[in-house]
Structure 1
Amino acid sequence: MKLVILDRDGVINEDSDAYIKTVDEWIPIPGSIAAIARLSKAGWTVAVATNQSGLARGYYDVATLEAMHARLRQLVAEQGGEVGLIVHCPHGPDDGCDCRKPKPGMLQQIAAHYGVDLRGVWFVGDSSGDLEAALAVDCQAVLVKTGKGQRTLAKGVPTATLIFDDLAAIADHLLQQE
């Protein structure tokens, strides 16, 4: 199985320090929807693992989050692709869960769902928490420069981290490798 796992905010859609609280605020990064569709059409399973502490903070509800994900699925489907499993952590930073990145719980959930070993699977994120979660389960840590990616890069990233401008560049790279 060809699996790639994506963080959401800052990788697929624009990020906001004020949180993405409505479907209208969920704005795809240029090229990201087409990148997911291209990967999907080439046989890749594209899963998503996203921290959503805005739920714990009461900024939006699960129905709103699901509407954002339905919008993502719809946009990708309109380009002939599909989005695989989407998992989210609803907890706040101090809730002590095992799913909130940098903990690897969501990545382990995806692995269990698909029955795969995560060793070498690309996990694409824009934050140090994403990279730490990837390394905790032997995923290939991949940083995009969108979202918080430039800030993360400026602070330094683990040695083996792959760095790309955006999700479209990752899709180009993966599809050229085939």
Structure 2
Amino acid sequence: MKVNKERDQLLTKNKNLTGERDQLLTKITSLSGDRDWLLNKNINLTNERDELIAKNDNLIKQRDQLNQEINEMLKKQKHMDGWIYHEFSYYYISSGWKSWTESRIYCTDRGGDLIIKDNSEEQVSERYCEFDNISGGADVWIGLTDSDVEDRWKWVDGSTLT
């Protein structure tokens, strides 16, 4: 009897241990899945980090290039007699008088054109405009013409006067 009782206790203990083993195996399987998910997440985050580092490096290069271009422009600006930089544009204020046509040719030869009114701060009057904030009150030619049709005014970019 005593042997049977011990056997029954061992079988019960074995059953309990088997249940615990099964629970541990389930937990191990779950943790393995979590580990695999975390490893994939880590790989994805590492790849994303590397892409961001590459983008950042490119942006730094672009910034440095732009800074270099700005510095070169500023150096050139010192040698650009009569040119004024204002709100991302350069304006030329001649010390001598030129006709409207001569002024336009001068500007277009340098990759620009006569000024076009595109905001309410600039007040236009027929053939010339006084841009106090740019020209210091000097009379300047603007890009407004009626050379195609008399009294039909248009801007040098082809847009109509409103």
- Relative to the length of structure 1, the TM-score reads 0.22
Greater RCO structure (CA 8 Å; 6+ sep): 1
Give the greater-gyration-radius structure (CA).
2
- Relative to the length of structure 2, the TM-score reads 0.24
Q: Which has the higher helix share?
A: 2
